[in-house]
Amino acid sequence: MIKIIIMGMTSFILAVITGKILIPIFESLKLGQYIREDAPKEHRKKSGVTTFGAVIFIIPTLIIILFNIERVDNEIKFIIISFIIFAFVGFIDDFLKKIHKRNEGLAIMQKFILLTIAITYCVCYFKTNLNLDTSIIVPFIKKTLDLKIFYIPFIIFMYMSMTNAVNLTDGLDGLAGGVSVIVVTFLGVVSFLFKKYSICAVCIVLMASLLGFLKYNKHPAKIIMGDTGALALGGVITSIAIVLKLQLIIPIIGVVYLIEALTTVIQIVFFKITGKRFFRMAPIHHAFELEGWSEVTIVNSFYIVTAIMCLLGFLSLL
Annotated binding site: 167, 227
Span between the terminal Cα atoms of the chain, in Å: 22
Cα dihedral angle (232, 310, 265, 114), rounded to 10 degrees?
20
Q: Are 12 and 185 in contact (CB under 8 A)?
A: no
Q: Are 47 and 33 in contact (CB under 8 A)?
A: yes
Rounded CA gap, 17 and 215, in Å?
A: 11
Rounded CA gap, 37 and 298, in Å?
A: 21
Q: Are 235 and 85 in contact (CB under 8 A)?
A: yes
In DSSP terms, 145 is beta-bridged to 136
Rounded CA gap, 229 and 224, in Å?
A: 9
R_g over Cα of the chain: 19
Name the percent of the chain in helix, strand, coil, to the closest 5. Answer: 75, 5, 25
Q: Are 219 and 42 in contact (CB under 8 A)?
A: no
Residue ranges of the binding site for Mg(2+):
167, 227
**Rounded alpha-carbon distances, angstroms, from residue 165 to 31, 56, 170, 171, 195:** 24, 21, 9, 11, 29
